[in-house]
């Protein structure tokens, strides 16, 4: 799968989140999040998403550290939505897209990741309950 559009990237990430991340629970207070929308409505983002591989300039890691977006639960515990469990080939393709797209837009990868997270969040929050 190669990404020809930003929407392809968003669909791939969203599929991972919907099938591999949720449902999730806070390990501190036990609050359950059945979906991304539930998570977004009940947590507060912390900083920009981080690609640990891109930070190191490793665009085709054999064992990716991955990408994570952090949020705080109402109890104060920090939760993570990450690329954990994503196939390596998909990570390579996402990293390649991010590298190329951040250069094209002349922005930092972290800014591109924040933009993509915001697009995904808007999409999820607009979905029916």
pLDDT of residue 1: 53
Q: Please give the pLDDT value at position 2.
A: 66
pLDDT digit string, tens, across residues 31-56: 999 999 999 999 999 999 999 999 99
Q: pLDDT exceeding 90 applies to what percent of the chain?
A: 96
- CA gap 94, 102 in Å, rounded: 12
Mean pLDDT of 22-26: 98
Tell me what the mean pLDDT of segment 51-73 comes to.
Answer: 95
> How many C-beta atoms lie closer than 10 Å to residue 95's C-beta?
21
Task: Tell me the β-bridge partners of 72.
Answer: 44, 78
pTM of the entire predicted model = 0.93
Mean pLDDT for all residues in the chain: 96
**pLDDT tens digit string along 92-124?**
999 999 999 999 999 999 999 999 999 999 999
């Amino acid at each position: 799968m190669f990404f020809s559009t930003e929407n392809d990237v968003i669909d791939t990430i969203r599929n991972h989140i919907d099938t591999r991340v949720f449902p999730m629970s806070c390990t501190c207070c036990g609050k359950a999040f059945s979906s991304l929308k539930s998570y977004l409505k009940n947590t507060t983002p912390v900083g920009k998403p981080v690609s640990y591989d891109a930070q190191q300039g490793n665009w085709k890691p054999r064992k990716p550290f991955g990408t994570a977006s952090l949020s705080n639960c109402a109890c104060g515990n920090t939760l993570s939505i990450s690329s954990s469990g994503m196939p390596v080939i998909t990570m390579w393709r996402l990293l390649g897209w991010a590298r190329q797209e951040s250069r094209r837009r002349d922005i930092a990868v972290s800014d591109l990741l924040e933009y993509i997270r915001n697009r995904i969040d808007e999409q999820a929050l607009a979905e029916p309950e």
